């Protein structure tokens, strides 16, 4: 029976999985968005969100705990400097997974995983959603056909 064995193994040993998640978390923190498989992204979300929560309290202990998981001092500096300020008022849900389709080689489900507060495109859409949309006009062939007729009438009136 598999009671209480909910760890996604991802086809790797424990040491390989921990190293991979640490490297992926570092890449996510440094680049704000990475492209990976859906299974790895879901495992990464569980791994990185508690680290981001710990970064909200800037203490020596929380920095050491983050460094123990990330193993990269530049990522820890980025996490406690810039990211912790952006997510200070957010009560969780720091990452977003956007599915992009399937990989050609092995048909693995692929996705982007990104930090929510850093996607300018999604923030721009959110700002546009709050404002009333501009009225869009549609062009048709009938209007294009009418335009030359109007020009002919203008030329005849000028003469």
Q: Is 41 among the domain residues?
A: yes
Residues of the chain with pLDDT under 70: 122-159
Q: Is residue 62 part of a domain?
A: yes
* Residue 50 domain-assigned (yes or no): yes
pLDDT in the model for residue 9: 94
Residue 89 is predicted with a pLDDT of 94
Angstrom distance (rounded) from CA 13 to CA 123: 38
Q: Which residues pair with 98 in a beta bridge?
A: 112
Question: For residues 67 and 111, what is the distance between their CA atoms, to the nearest angstrom?
Answer: 27
- In a domain? residue 47: yes
Q: Is residue 126 part of a domain?
A: no
Is residue 86 domain-resident?
A: yes
Buried b / exposed e along 49-76 (16+ C-beta atoms within 10 A): bebbbbbeeeeeebbebbeebbebeebb
Per the structure, how many domains does the chain have? 1
The candidate with the shortest Cα–Cα distance to 83, out of 44, 36, 111, 116, is 116
DSSP state of 116: G
Domain-located, residue 142? no
Instruction: State residue 35's pLDDT score.
Output: 97
| Contact indicator for 70, 79 with CB cutoff of 8 Å | yes
At residue 6, the pLDDT reads 87
The CATH number for 97's domain is: 3.90.1030.10
Q: How far apart are CA 43 and CA 93, in angstroms?
A: 14
Domain span at residue 59 reads: 14-120
Structure confidence at residue 120 (pLDDT): 74
Specify if 4 maps to a domain.
no
Pairing of strands 33-37, 109-115: antiparallel
């Amino acid at each position: 029976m598999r009671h209480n064995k909910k760890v996604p193994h991802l086809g790797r040993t424990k040491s390989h999985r921990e190293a991979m998640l640490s490297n992926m978390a570092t890449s996510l923190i440094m680049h704000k968005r990475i492209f990976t498989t859906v299974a790895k992204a879901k495992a990464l979300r569980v791994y990185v969100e508690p680290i981001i929560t710990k970064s909200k309290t800037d203490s020596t202990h929380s920095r050491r705990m983050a460094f123990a998981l990330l193993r990269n001092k530049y990522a820890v500096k980025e996490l406690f400097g810039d990211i912790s300020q952006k997510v200070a008022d957010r009560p969780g849900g720091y990452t977003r997974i956007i599915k992009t389709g399937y990989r050609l080689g092995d048909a693995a489900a692929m996705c982007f995983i990104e930090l929510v507060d850093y996607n300018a495109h999604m923030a721009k859409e959110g700002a546009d959603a709050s404002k009333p949309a501009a009225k869009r006009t549609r062009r048709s062939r009938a209007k294009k056909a009418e335009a030359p007729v109007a020009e002919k009438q203008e030329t005849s009136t000028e003469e």
